[in-house]
Structures are given as structure tokens and as C-alpha cells.
Structure 1
Amino acid sequence: MSPRVVVFAGGVGGSRFTLGVRAALAARGAEPTVVVNTGDDLWLSGVRLQPDVDSIIYALAGVNDTARGWGRAGDTERVNEELQAWGAGWPWFTLGDLDLGTHLARTGWLRDGLTPTQVLERLSGRWPLGARLLPMTDAEVDTHVVVADGERMHFQEWWTRHRATLTPERFENPGIERATPAPGVLEAIASADAVLLAPSNPVVSIGPILAVPGIRGALRDTTAPVVGVSPIIGGAVVRGMADVCLAAIGVPTAADAVAAHYGARSGSGVLDAWLVGEEDGEAAASVSALGIEAHVRPLWMTDAAASAALAEGALAAAGL
């Protein structure tokens, strides 16, 4: 029987890892189910944006802008320029024309009464993605950042406009305590042969997924091994400002510290195994001391082959 693999993902690292998992599973006649972070979603100029959802769709479809790491390849910005001329939207948050087509389609379907899960199913039908995508929840639980002076702003403003230069005191997802997992999420986890946590930002990509009531419990209850991949290589973040996010919650920028943040399933956490980079091989012992099986692997996803090899390593750690 083909293995049933669930991936938790968000951001550029999640997109690249998902591509690798898809390639690794294709050789086994299987497709992954990807639970995507929707904590960085937002309303802007009257349309609903889902940055992580769209990044993963575009990556799987092969239409993503690999140079920028977000948006569509070859996109133009005529509509965005017109919005700016009207003083609409955010001048520091660029929306490409093709990307806006996605947002308009999504918003129209939401206005028609479809749920985010149903909308994502429609969006996934345009291209042969080779994966089943599920939002973490159908509820709107956008991420807010409270900075040192008490000011509150949307995560995208803090991340894109301020480039994480404003010291965060905490990250919040208002209403997440009342949210429920999207249809199919708990069932996919319960029936999985492996659950993989992508090397996404632990605080604002994987964190919101785990914060949806019921999902952490499902991870602890599943019979499938739960394997995570470190987003820290050689004591540094691979991309973005995840180190600032980790510092805000008191977690050092280190592979073993992030493993400890997730915790061992033998204790009160969610991990059975954790992949660390070759540059962090000395951290394997401290990971093992947490009750988490440590695997030292090359983690750099420099191309499709490297991403697939990393996915193979994660699947091997899960016994597949």
C-alpha cells in the first residue's frame, strides 16, 4: 500500500520541502497531504490573501518566482501601481497582476459562501499539483505582532515593511482558541504513516498550525512517527528573520533548541525524530537527550535533487 504522508508547511522552506516530499513519494506511487499555515493570511484592498497557501500552490505548479521566493514568475505590477496611485493598499506590499487574479478568484468564492477548504480545493484543480492541500483551519486567525512599545500590527506589516527590525514582545492569533481544524486535517493525521514538520519558521508558520485546538493532540495521538526538520543550519536561519521570532519566545537560534521547543512525544511534545544539519552534528547528542531520535543529514535545499534527498531522509527517519 502506498504510504500516507502528512506535511505541515508554510513559507519558502515549506514550499521547497513539499516539492522534495512530492518527488520522494512519487517514486512510491503516493502523494502527500499538506496542512498549510494560514496564520499569515490577511485582507488587503478588499481581497483575501493567503501568502503561504499561494506559495505552495505556485511552487507545486512550477509557476513560482524562485528569485524572489514569493509570487508568480514573470508577473507584472500594473494593477499594483494603479492601487498605489489611488493611495490604496500598502505601498511596501507588492501585489503582482497574476497573483491578484488568484486573490480575486479566492475572494469571489468566499463571498459566494465557499469555505477556505473548498476554495483551496478549487485553486488546487488548476494545475496537477501532485499533492492534496488543506488549510490548517477555515477560521480567520491572522497573526498579529505586539512590539516593544505596545503597538500591535499585522504580521505582514512587521515582516515586510519593518523587516522584523521592531523588537517583538509576542505573536498572537486572535480567535485561534475558538478555531477548529479544517475538514480532513485530523483524519489525515490519524490515518498517516508519517507526519513531517517542514523546516518552516517554528513560531509563525508551524506554530499557528499547532495552536489550532485539536491538532497538537492529534499529533500526540497518531500512531505515525512525527519527524521534524531543523530550520536552523550551522547556528543560523536559512532565510528570513526566524531568529527574531525565536528570540521573542525565548528560544535560541540552534537546531537542538528548536527541537526542545517542539518537544519529545515521549514527554509533552510532538516529535519522535529530528533532522539536524551536518554542520550541527554536535547537537545530535542533546537532541537525543530530549528523548527525540536525532538524524544528521545534509539540510540545504539548493535544488530539486537536494530537496528530494532531504525528504528521503525524513521518510527514512519515519521508517518509510
Structure 2
Amino acid sequence: MPTPRIVVLAGGVGGSRFVRGARAALRGRGVTTTEDALTVVVNTGDDLWLSGVRLQPDVDSIVYALAGVNDAGRGWGREGDSERVNHELQEWGAGWPWFTLGDLDLGTHLARTGWLREGLTPTRVIERMSRRWPLGARLLPMTDDEVDTIVVLRDGSRIHFQEWWTRHRAALDPARFENPGIEAAAAAPGVADAITGADVVLIAPSNPVVSIGPILDVPGVREALSATSARVIGVSPIIGGRVVRGMADVCLSAIGVETSASAVAAHYGARAQGGLLDAWLVAEEDADSASVIEGRGIRTLVAPLWMKDEAHSAALAEAALSAAGV
């Protein structure tokens, strides 16, 4: 069987684990040059400027995970990192005292910012970052434009997503999420072509609202998903009615979506009815919802979704590929 061309839409910790599993699944099939087979379109809605440097949290999480240098315990940042510079910034009253920048992590941000100042686009910056480690995947930002996520609270005030998520732990009641400028943005070079030329598109078990949502809202992405002949397979980020990590339930509630595998599938919609999904993977804990999802025109498969380690992540990715018939 020829090597399938896989595109993954991903962001956050769940996305990084799933992408690592997809690479392992390809290697389990005997594919050695996985970067030719695996393209990851990464959410950049989490990005921000802080202390004069450009941060791309989801990009870095996926880069570090594929490189094997991520802090698996925390779910973000570099393993074994120190925080001397972060403490010094706090002494100067700079940055955000509740937003930790590790020293090694800051090195990444400084390198990125320097390249951006020299005129490189985020796409080119990620290409340069990928030369350091054998990632086994081609990473593309969803767009080269800056479209940070802003949380509009019920009282009408507006704060950056990272402040709402990291400082307030999603405790402030959100009315909606916005990505200012996204209507005028364009998909990064290669994104639409990768999707339309894929054999399978996988939607990672990432936050549907603030990780996958911004990718889908970039002009050209939904059109590419509609045009592709590839099967579009999604993996539920909800297991047993609960989010796996983080506060995605608060995000879902803000847009009127119940925290359930069935409701998130309905949110994405059946491709045959103008939505996104050809098939949806749900956890064994949610097997009783399969018939409901099937009734919405989305083929539903039950599989173990807990990504406890790379082997479990690879098995999940393989299940998603099998669901697409590749």
C-alpha cells in the first residue's frame, strides 16, 4: 500500500500528543521519511507578544513533543528548564508574573522574534526551527497573519486568551471568543494545497473552540476541506462527558455546545450535510452515543482514546487512519 498523505489539524497538548502518535503510526507501517507523509496545520490563535518577543505556544508544544524535549508533566515548555530570566523579568516588573517563560523556552522565542524582525514569515520561521531536530513532520502555521484570540467577557471587557486561560484558569465568564483580523487573513502557503492533496485529514482531539476553531475560520481552510477528496476523520476531545485536559468545557459552554462527544460531533457537522466530518472516533466510555452520532450522518467508531503514552497515541492515530481506509 502506498504511503498515505496525512494532514492533521492540531493545537494544544492533546494535539501535540496526537501528532506524535501519527508519526509513530507511520513508522509502525515502515515509513521512514515521515515528514513527506505527515503535515500538521497548527493553531496560531494562542500566539501573543510578551516582553517584546513573539510566543507561539501551540507551535512550540508540537515542535518540542516531536523533538522529544517537551516537559510531559506540565504539558508545555522544555523538559528540565530553569526560570532565572523569568524571575529577573518579574524583578523588573516586566512581562506577566503568572506567565512563566523558561530559559530554554525563551531562547526559542528570542530566535523566532529575531527572524520575524529580519522579515521572515511565521511559515519560514517554523521551517528554520524544524532544521534543529528531526521532527518527522512538516509543520505549517494556520496563517502568517497575526490573529490572536481575544476573550470577550460577559461584562463586555476584553482580555487576551492567555490571560483568561493561564491567569484566571477560565474562571471569568466568557461571552464569546474573537480573532481580530481573521476575516482578512489568508491560509499560510501550503495549507490549502496540503488539505486538497491529502489522502486523509485528521482533526486532532484539541479544544474545538480555541484550537481547531481558529484554524477552520481562516479564509480558505473550510473551502479546502470541502474540496478535498480525502476522508475527514475527527477524534473526540471529550471522554465520558469530561474534557481530558484544560478548560475546554467552559469554551464549549460559551458557544452553546454541551460537553459531550455527541455534541462536539454535531458542532463539527456531517460533511455530507455541509459540515466537516466523514467519521468520528469516540471513547469506549461514550459507546452508547454512537447511534445518535450516526443518526446525524457521521460514521462513528469506538476506540480507546486515552493517550497515556506514545504507544497509546500511535494506536489511536492508527484507528483514525483505518477509519479513513488508508
Pair in the same fold by TM > 0.5 = yes
Question: What TM-score does the superposition give when structure 2 sets the normalisation length?
Answer: 0.97
Q: Which amino acid aligns with 2:158?
A: R
| Structure 2 partner of 1:4 | 5
1:231 is aligned, of 237, 248, 257, to: 237
| Structure 2 partner of 1:254 | 260
| Structure 2 partner of 1:171 | 177
**Unaligned regions of 5+ residues in structure 1, if any?**
none
Q: How many angstroms apart in 2 are the aligned matches of 1:206 and 1:126?
A: 27
Matched, 1:274 2:280: yes
Matched, 1:195 2:196: no
Q: How many angstroms apart in 1 are the aligned matches of 2:138 and 2:195?
A: 13
| Structure 1 partner of 2:98 | 92
2:166 aligns to what SS in structure 1? helix
Query: Where do 4+ consecutive residues of structure 1 move more than 3 Å?
Result: none
Q: How many angstroms apart in 2 are the aligned matches of 1:319 and 1:274?
A: 14
Q: Which amino acid aligns with 2:107?
A: G
Matched, 1:13 2:19: no
Q: How many residues align?
A: 320
Q: How many angstroms apart in 2 are the aligned matches of 1:221 and 1:265?
A: 11
Q: How many angstroms apart in 2 are the aligned matches of 1:286 and 1:152?
A: 37
| Structure 2 partner of 1:122 | 128
| Structure 2 partner of 1:110 | 116
How many angstroms does 1:27 deviate by?
3.0
CA deviation map 1:85-125 (0-9, x unaligned): 00000000000000000000000000000000000000011
**Structure 2 counterparts to residues 4-153 of structure 1, below 5 A:** 4-28=5-29, 29=31, 30=34, 31-153=37-159
1:245 aligns to what SS in structure 2? helix
CA deviation map 1:151-175 (0-9, x unaligned): 1000000000000000100000000
Tell me the C-alpha RMSD between the 2 structures.
Answer: 0.6
2:269 is aligned, of 238, 263, 282, to: 263
Q: How many angstroms apart in 2 are the aligned matches of 1:234 and 1:299?
A: 11
CA deviation map 1:195-250 (0-9, x unaligned): 00000000000000000011011111100000000000000000000000000000
Q: How many angstroms apart in 1 are the aligned matches of 2:3 and 2:149?
A: 36
Q: How many angstroms apart in 1 are the aligned matches of 2:289 and 2:321?
A: 21
**Unaligned regions of 5+ residues in structure 2, if any?**
none
1:43 aligns to what SS in structure 2? strand
Q: How many angstroms apart in 1 are the aligned matches of 2:157 and 2:169?
A: 16
How many angstroms does 1:25 deviate by?
1.2
| Percent of aligned pairs sharing the same letter | 75
2:317 is aligned, of 300, 311, 320, to: 311
